[in-house]
Amino acid sequence: MESTTSPAAPHEPPHVYSNNGGYDASVEQEIPRTLATASATAAADADDSDLDDIFDDGDDDFGLGPDGEPDLARNYNRQKPLHPNQQKPAANTFNSIDDQISALSKHASKIRLDDVKERQAQDKDKSDRATSEQVLDQRTRMILYQMINRNVVSEVHGAISTGKEANVYGAVALAEDFSKVHRAVKVYKTAILSFKDRERYITGEHRFKSGADKGNNRKMVKLWAEKEFRNLRRIHAAGIPCPEPIQLKLHVLVMSFLGDRRGWAYPRLRDAVIPAEESEKIWSDLYIQLLGTMRRMYQVCKLVHADLSEYNILYHDKQLYIIDVSQSVEHDHPRSLEFLRMDIKNTGDFFRRQGVDTLADRVVFDFIIAPVGPVDQPGLEESIQQLYVSRSELATDEKAAAEAEVQNEVFRQQYIPQTLEQVYDIEKDAETIGHGEGDKLVYRNLLADQVVLPKTADEQASESDQSDEGAALNSEGSSDEESDDDESRFSKGTPRGKRFEDKDEKKQRKQAVKEAKSEKRKEKMPKHLKKRLVATTSRKKR
């Protein structure tokens, strides 16, 4: 009889478990179907993996997918665990750039960023180049500040005069005893140049050999200021009354002040106040004084003012002062004689308007350029008085005076050659010299006195006698001279040169030269003394 279990009976496990022994293997255990399938598959895979390990040659499929194409995700997942502790790069790129910039900061002044600045917005404005009174821009103010710091001047006051090329300002400097000394500061215009005809003054000037740099006004004005500074030094050294140049910095020139102690400048000759009771004598004396000054400038300073008029001459206490010599040229300038004639015309016209009996322009021109004659004041006045005396002897009537006036106008329009190569009508001038009128040529000073001066009666008689005697001798004894030719005239003399010198003479000559050199060495200054003298003089100049 079969026993049946009641459903309410307790469930007993199908296996037996013993302590320290585990489950009893004799008892069959039920394994779930899903687990049984998974375990079989795992066992098969384990067996295959064991075989794969045996036949593995180290080849890899390099992450190819089932279809033979690269599997990027698989490659990434495979390589990621290989470097779990991968570190960041030691160098920080941002910090490296900062380090380079800090290392190059000390060379920042040497880096040129002109091209970069051109592309960027400009920081400068037109106000930086703005000028007041046409001369005072930012650069000029910095030069004036520098002069104040160096005690060249201590104060700069208002404008004394304004011209077409520069403005002159009053200034005050402190002397060694702390007393005030007035100065004049001339500032040349660089922004607006109203002086447009500089070309005729520059052409032929050795300081402007390369010509005027029309594209750089500051460079040209700087040379113009240097020219006036040197001309003033030359005129002041010759003893001619003029401002004394003190210092030059680019286009700013500091000079001595021509005026009174209160700072009032001397008036121009045009604005001079002359007492009426003695005006005639004073104007006449000033005219003679000016002629002497022009001759002294030409002969001693080797300069022609080239812009001399009543506007460029100051007057004080019967004394004339020459100013504004920036356009003055050398006496060998291609147009120096033309400028001199213009100065004579301008000054002569002014003094004639003042009622002065002036000399003809040609007479004054010859007086100034004459190489022979006095150049000091006492002798100059006597020479000018002599010119007045000679003129009064020639001008006997009104007809002669009218002819002199015509000749004066012709001279003002006449071409003046600077050299003999510039003479354009040689035949006509030679004929004039042949008639004994060589003194009338405008370039008379370029010729020798024997050619220009008319020949005396004795010289003409002696020349005619010599020509007659020569003709008679040639006519009477021409055949005898042909037969009796003196061949000694064609004989060679002693050859010249040291090669053909006699031995004794050569020995004596060398001995004399040796003695002369030895005597010269006795008077020669020792080298160490010479160096010491040069060093002391150079320190004094500084």
Q: Which residues contact 120 (CB under 8 A, 6 or more apart)?
A: none
The answer to whether residues 174 and 154 touch, using CB atoms and an 8 Å cutoff, is yes
For every residue of 342-370, DSSP letters joined together read: HHHHHHHHHHHHTT--PPPHHHHHHHHH-
Detail the DSSP E strand segments found in 120-229: 155-162, 166-174, 180-188
User: Which of 324, 343, 361, 429 is an active site residue?
Assistant: 324
Can you state the angle between helices 279-299 and 361-369, rounded to 10 degrees?
Answer: 40
- Catalytic (active site) residue 425: no
Q: List the catalytic residue out of 71, 307, 366, 439.
A: 307
Distance between CA 297 and CA 368 in Å, rounded?
9
Cβ distance 364 to 291 under 8 Å? yes
Tokens of 422: 């510039």
- Residues with Cβ < 8 Å from 438, sequence gap 6 or more? 432, 444, 447, 451, 452, 453, 454
Q: Which amino acid is at 515?
A: E
DSSP string, 389-408: HHHHHH--SHHHHHHHHHHH
DSSP state of 397: S
d(CA 299, CA 369): 7
Residue 376 designated active-site: no
The Cα–Cα gap between 242 and 320 comes to: 9
For residue 262, report the phi and psi dihedrals to the nearest 5 degrees: -85, -5
Who contacts 186 (Cβ-Cβ below 8 Å, separation ≥6)? 166, 167, 168, 169, 225, 228, 252, 253, 254, 255
3-state secondary structure of 424: coil
- d(CA 140, CA 156) in angstroms, rounded, equals 13
Residue 184, class by beta-carbon neighbours within 10 Å (0-12 exposed, 13-18 middle, 19+ buried)? Answer: buried
- Asked whether the beta carbons of 236 and 242 are under 8 A apart, the reply is yes
Contact between 234 and 301 under an 8 Å Cβ cutoff? The reply is: yes
Closest CA to 387 of 407, 359, 349: 359
Joined together, the tokens standing for residue 439 give 């003194």
The catalytic site residues sit at 307, 324
